[in-house]
Amino acid sequence: MKAAGRSGRVEGRAAPPRLRTAARVTAAVFGAYGFAWGLAAFGAELGALAGMAPAEAVTASSLLALVVLPVASLWAFAVPRVTVGWAVLGGGGVLLIAASQFAGMVGP
């Protein structure tokens, strides 16, 4: 509970600690997974566009995303404002997925 209390003082917001904790945990679980998903999807499309064999591109981008996943998850606890954490992980994930869809349409 120490970390939650500390970030509470830093943020100085009215949001109850329980809600803030829930926001951090969901950002760490779902936000980070969404971000990793976007990274794996976009990386696969990018690799395919660059001429990699599809199976190679999928494997390479998934391995990269797997390394990023636990770090992104912990970052959701380290970032001073949980809203920033959600914006970067959730927003980044959505952007990456959109970019991969776009790359999929452009690609062969």
Partner 1 sequence: MTAKTRKLISPALRAAMLWPHTWAGVTLGGLLMLIFFMGSLAVFASEIDRWMMPATRVGAVETGPASLDHAVLPAVEKLAAGRTVRDWYVQLPDERRPVMALQLRTETGNAGGMATSDGQLLPPVGTLGGTYFFYPLHYSLHLRAGFIGYWIVCFASVAMLAGLISGVIIHARIFKDFFTFRSWGQFRRSLLDLHNLTGVLVLPFHLMITITGIVIVLPIVLPAGVQALYGGDVRRFYDDALGNYSRPRSGIAAPLAPLDPMVAEARRLWGGGEPAVVFVYNAGDAASVVRINRALRDRISLDVQPVFFDGVTGQVLKYQRPGPVVATHRVLSGLHFAAFDHWPLRWLYLLFGLSGCMLIGTGMLYWMEKRRVAHGVKPGVGWRSVAAIACGSTSGLLIATLAMMAANRLLPAGIPSRELVEVGLFFLIWIGSAVHAAVRTRTDPPWSEQCTAVALLAAACVALNWITTGEHPIRAVASADWAVLGVDVVLALTAVAAWRVSRRLAQRPDPELSTLAKVTDHA
Pick out residues in 11-70 that bind partner 1 (CB under 8 A): 28, 36-41, 43-45, 48, 52-63, 65-67, 69-70
By the rule CB under 8 A, 82 interacts with partner 1: no
Which one-letter DSSP state was computed for residue 52? -
DSSP states along the chain: -HHHHHHHHHH--SS-HHHHHHHHHHIIIIIHHHHHHHHHHHHHHHHHHTT--HHHHHHHHHHHHHHHHHHHHHHHHHSS-HHHHHIIIIIHHHHHHHHHHHHHHH--
By the rule CB under 8 A, 99 interacts with partner 1: no
Size of the site for partner 1 (CB under 8 A): 41
By the rule CB under 8 A, 71 interacts with partner 1: yes
Q: Quick one: 57 or 87, whose CB is closer to partner 1? A: 57
Distance CA 58, CA 60 (A): 6
Cβ of residue 89: shortest distance to partner 1, in angstroms?
A: 14
Interface ranges with partner 1 (CB under 8 A): 1-4, 6-7, 28, 36-41, 43-45, 48, 52-63, 65-67, 69-71, 73-74, 77-78, 100, 104
